Amino acid sequence: MVQKDERFVRRLFELPTAEVLETEVKVHAHVHEGYSDRDDLSSLSPIEQSDLIERYSVCVFLRNGKGCMLDASFKNAVCRSFICPSVEATLSNELLHEIQAAIHAIQHEAKQFHTTCKQVLQELGLSLKKDHDEVIRFLKQYYPEPDLHEKRS
């Protein structure tokens, strides 16, 4: 991501819904104010509240009439594996099983990358909270842009 659009990466830190942690940035969905206006929230269990908030949430990268504004290569494991429950309900068991296997593979790959990256950043004493520039320089060096014209053996 830093190789393709460093300005975009830097803008992530400034998003109102961005949660900058030591080794990751989480961009939370925008929650419609209608959620907070509900009178029944205190009577709901945490799981029920979580389910309900999802119905009031919209991805900050979604543009009305245009769809997702993220470059396809920037989409994370959540983006690549989320399927609306109403669509999921229409799928055959076989297709649902295939999709769940693909979701597991995507999440496993993402987890491995994040674990490795987190470990290296911690070893270097770098934090996204306080060392944005150093982390971006490190990522550009550690994960160089692939040469698409390079011949493979």
Domain ranges of the chain: 6-142
**Predicted confidence (pLDDT) per residue in 17-55, tens digit:** 889 988 888 888 888 888 888 888 889 888 888 888 888
- Judged against a pLDDT cut of 80, whether residue 5 lies above it is answered with no
Q: What CA–CA distances, in Å, run from 54 to 27, 90, 105, 123, 138?
A: 14, 20, 24, 36, 35
Distance CA(142)–CA(136), nearest Å, equals 10
**Predicted confidence (pLDDT) per residue in 87-123, tens digit:** 677 888 998 898 889 888 888 888 888 898 889 899 9
Within 13-72, residue ranges assigned H as helices are: 46-55
Q: Tell me, what DSSP letter sits at residue 63?
A: E
Mean pLDDT of 123-130: 91
* pTM strictly above 0.95: no
